[in-house]
Structure 1
């Protein structure tokens, strides 16, 4: 009798264990219920598996935090959960949730730095970037460059235009560090490819000229010729006479209409009143402009004028240039 009872009890326990196992297997492979189409969570470094389970439930995963924690623990991977910013979408199972955190598959946002933007414009974009912690708004440009390990270097032009992905909770300083390193890498690579015998003596010269080429270019294929014009002018110490530098020197005073008085008003960036390169870049140049600055086309051109379709006409003499201006600029303006 006693032996029969024990056998029945063991069988019952075995059935119960099988049911529990089957239920657990079913739960692990069923989509978790969410209180929104997606649930976001930032897992901080040092969080325990129990903390993580509770945080997901608090964020909007509709399940038992104890059940979620037991799954983390039972899987043997609870210590492999990585800190980061995660997004759980509708249809994800408990297995998917743990796999995402163990792999570190973070939800990444992006911020885009456009070729030709100024540093001021880029900072404004960073200030509006989704989920990006603001660590630099109180810093001047000089203080910011010091934090990036480049004290005394003007911030303008020092950041490479690209699309930067980051995890939510990252700082704007971290993105700036990456963009700064990227520009140093691109500039160093371009400088090693420079043509021999040019008027540029330092990588900073190349960066400054590249920023001018970036702002003057309407059609990508014209970059090497535009760079050639400026190289030729620098060689004979002829003023660069480029409007974008004048506009940059005017700063917030520029209202969108460049007037003759502006060309005659001296500033450190007025390349009509001052010979040579301006004291710093005037924008963020891209890779194509960096390469054009150090590998200009071989030409005798000293002038160029916009056709009106994005391309330019290049001339070696003032007489040729005046004819081009009459054809493409004055004709378009009318009598």
Structure 2
């Protein structure tokens, strides 16, 4: 039995990691403000604000077999490493593909990174630079693993990106759905690499307790966006048609790519196509599990139905906006 510390642990990925470790019988402690949700069953929550220098005081007397940090704030990463680094046998940082300087081409771990943020606080616009600074802090430890994640999906996704499509197809029923008209084959095909959050959590726990080190890209198996949408429609039982719109037309009508309000999730502009062309051979060799995408989509639909198909979403179009756009095509 290992002592596992999750810095975070009450939001989506952190909670999945805590759940996985607790299910295996490990002693799991989560340090969080506790505002994002409940701690995983079997885990212990220590409430603290990591902006407070005393946040880690209750953790310094324990020897941790594994520490997992999901922060995007350099000050949090630096403070945790400084205070707890000597008590940790292994440290995992969940980073992001946004650390790479060039996102327009396929991404490999040896590619150049953005400049690290010197400040302790990273705004949303400096997310990648902030994560590079977090990586630098963790990289000072002798036994560390940095996981640069692509798009995560699965039940509970707070970004609403990967779940948008199956929920929209389900809600539409026999009515049309607006999709981006993108290449499905060839060098410039539109691709997706959705990694189930549960698979990443499994890998994090496995790799930490096996002492895996280094930097690795973690992303799902590559498939075309066309196939992803088709599978989502099949899982949802959609019997209507999918109507494609040219990316330029979508942009002219204020529809955003990738994420956020009034967007078509998973459609990426050319300057960011590397985020769906991540080389994951290192993680695959280290044992990264990846379930079939149809399983992730099906489980996501169950979660989407439980939360409400017509709820306000963090990403995608409202149905009214979608129908208005379809009427203009």
* Shorter-chain TM band: under 0.3
Structure with bigger RCO (C-alpha 8 Å, 6+ apart): 2
Larger radius of gyration: 1
Instruction: Please report the TM-score for the alignment, with normalisation by the length of structure 2.
Output: 0.24
Instruction: Please report the TM-score for the alignment, with normalisation by the length of structure 1.
Output: 0.23
Higher share in strand: 2
Higher share in helix: 1
